[in-house]
Structure 1
Amino acid sequence: MRAKVVALGVGIAAVCTVPLAITVTADAAPDVVLSRGHPVLASSAKDAARTGVMAVDGDPATRWTSGTPAITQWLRLDLGRAQAVTRVRLIWDGAYARAYRIQVSADGASWTDLHRETAGDGGTDDVKRLKGTGRYLRVLATQRAWASGYSLREIQVYGPGPAVKAIPVTSAPATVPAAARGLTDARKRELAFQLVSTAENSTLDWRGQYGYIEDIGDGRGYTAGIVGFCSGTSDMLALVSEYTRRSPRNRLAGYLPALRTVDGSDSHAGLDPGFTTAWKRAAADPVFQKTQEDERDRLYFGPAVTLASSDGLRALGQFAYYDAAVMHGMSGLRRIRAAAMRDVRTPKQGGDETLWLDEFLDVRVAEMRTEEAHTDVTRVETAQRAFLRAGNLDLNAPLAWRVYGDRFAVRK
């Protein structure tokens, strides 16, 4: 059993760069318990008998146990109103976290670190002298000691109070809520498409881009459609080929020989002057619209999300992989990922999700800057990186971001 004291500035940057000063203390903080009986949301639960509620019921014989194989798991407490937090006491079961963060939030979406533990050894962690305020408090576990997951018997949050009267809680979600399921959730999937559209087409309305087509001078020929299919990178050829299979007499079928010829170059040979007009007219065909969506999912969205999920990433990481695949192709995404893995472990490998994504985005930015047409890296730095710095790994709305000088926002 141990007691630990940590003094730490707020923000992820401080967590990553400031050495932690930990001292042993035996004194008890005079503050009141703020957490007992308050609503709890868990990233997952083993079963109905081991939900997050069991960690705030005041009974050390009960416990919360995580229920999915994902390495990163969390418990979120609603303290009823904004509260100053000075101390958090965690009573671990056998399956403890070697690394975790204690965070506070005003809205349950953007999080600030109060404490970061990197050498946990189980038992009781009594973390004192914390300085932070928030309605919500989260314990974010990022490295487990046992393959079985995490298990907490009690979380006790202290502050000067007064404590808000607890709302009686009899049950809690046993699985990840829709907002945290990643891009398999329909709303998050739609958000991912909107985010890509702001970078590819400067609009949230991705469905309005079936007829978009132009040569943007990046050496890839014509760029067109909802994710920028290119005449020079094979995906436009694949799209028109599939469209022709589904609708043999379509307006674009006659351009297939030219698309095969220009594939791998920025040439328009055989496409001008009629191809752009034919593309825009084809965009009114529901079959062509559906084919664009299906090819987007087959070539980019599906493979990228599958790879991100296998790396243990949530919605933000899944989107970061998808956006990289759209710009660099799946082969380019894999190169970026491989380069990042030389220095940082993925969550699946036991690494910290935030640190992994930070490294992945660093490598992505470096790759973008090797291409003259992509030296503006705002689609990463003032969008994805901004979400990461806010601790918004689940891409929870509201969101605000900037891309190529334009501002965008999604409220819900």
Structure 2
Amino acid sequence: MRVSPAIRPSGRVVRVLVAASVAACTASFALAGTGHATPVQGARSAAAAAASVDLTDAHKKDIAMQLVSSAENSSLDWKAQYKYIEDIDDGRGYTAGIIGFCSGTGDMLDLVQLYTDRAPGNVLAKYLPALRKVDGSDSHSGLDPNFTKDWRTAAADPVFQQAQNDERDRVYFDPAVQQAKADGLRALGQFIYYDAIVMHGPGNDKDSFGGIRKTALGKAKTPAQGGDETAYLGAFLDARKAAMKREEAHSDTTRVDTEQRVFLQAGNLDLDPPLKWKVYGDSYSITS
């Protein structure tokens, strides 16, 4: 997982990892049901609203991937990122793939292990011992000089692409959407949660997803608790922005200010196209 400051060498957003543990990268969510008591009518209404538009719909999910890619990669072409790999000098080794799997935080190791389970003898399998050794550090020991080249070779393999998709869903997308639906949030709220977990990780400290959600719950009720959806999401974005500003790497908050809050202020809780937004001053649109 990573966050994206406004520095973009070679036209690409620098992606900086959140300072989270390997355990945080693979932690499962157990947040649903925390917070205030839930009024029965509010829960029923919230459940009906969340069921009406689900981010797991193929088209909605693709929109979510494009939105994240605009901030993470300065491009809407998220599928072009399977081959992405570089060391962005953030202390977490190599950052790679569609969601920023990193050699220093364990999620890259998990990904390559999954790929090897599905395709024994693949071009990356030989790096598993090295990935285990560099886990928790920024070391390239045992990876250089050919790891980046071999990663790009593997990225052309549909099996590796699917492995990236599956790990993205297991660690980030599915837990975020599950929690958002439990909170009674529609597609925009589900996306807001997903983008937050991508950047901040699924932990429970104050600057991880769980901590941000806890702060928001102290300010507003979720729809599942009988609260107003727009008011709650506003509180969540406020809490997230505060968390971002506590780290220098988060200094540019446009993915909140000129992307997500724009949709929220427009009342587009179902995240329906056409969508227009800006990240780091660059303009993007999804027309359908």
Q: Is 1:257 aligned to residue 129 of structure 2?
A: yes
Q: Is 1:295 aligned to residue 162 of structure 2?
A: no
Matches within 5 A, 1:33-52: none
Corresponding position of 1:359: 235
Structure having greater relative contact order (Cα 8 Å, sep ≥ 6): 2
Picking from 33, 50, 64, the partner of 1:192 is 64
Q: Is 1:319 aligned to residue 229 of structure 2?
A: no
Tell me if structure 2 keeps the 8 A contact 1:217–1:373. no
Of Structure 1 and Structure 2, the greater strand share is in: 1
Moved over 3 A (4+): 143-150, 175-178
State the TM-score, normalized to the length of structure 1. 0.56
**In structure 2, how many angstroms separate the alpha carbons of the residues matched to 1:339 and 1:259?**
36
Change (3 A) 1:220 1:146: same
Change (3 A) 1:217 1:362: farther
Change (3 A) 1:340 1:176: closer
**In structure 2, how many angstroms separate the alpha carbons of the residues matched to 1:213 and 1:294?**
18
Change (3 A) 1:356 1:148: closer
Change (3 A) 1:256 1:353: same
**Secondary structure at 1:243's aligned position in 2?**
helix
Change (3 A) 1:199 1:147: closer
Size of the aligned set, in residue pairs, is: 245
RMSD over aligned Cα atoms: 2.2
Tell me if structure 2 keeps the 8 A contact 1:218–1:373. no
Determine which structure has more spread, i.e. the larger CA radius of gyration: 1
**Secondary structure at 1:210's aligned position in 2?**
helix
Where do 5+ consecutive residues of structure 2 fail to align?
1-37
Corresponding position of 2:213: 337
Picking from 212, 232, 241, the partner of 2:113 is 241
Picking from 266, 275, 280, the partner of 1:399 is 275
**Secondary structure at 1:313's aligned position in 2?**
coil
Q: Give aligned-pair identity as a percent.
A: 62
Change (3 A) 1:248 1:400: same
**Secondary structure at 1:276's aligned position in 2?**
helix
**In structure 2, how many angstroms separate the alpha carbons of the residues matched to 1:388 and 1:148?**
21
Picking from 214, 221, 233, the partner of 2:93 is 221
Q: Which amino acid aligns with 1:380?
A: V
Kindly state the Cα deviation for residue 273 of structure 1 after the two structures are TM-superposed.
Answer: 1.8
State the TM-score, normalized to the length of structure 2. 0.79
- Map Cα deviations across residues 252-271 of structure 1 (whole Å, 9 max, x no partner): 11111221222222232222
Corresponding position of 2:16: none
Q: Which amino acid aligns with 1:395?
A: L
- Map Cα deviations across residues 85-109 of structure 1 (whole Å, 9 max, x no partner): xxxxxxxxxxxxxxxxxxxxxxxxx
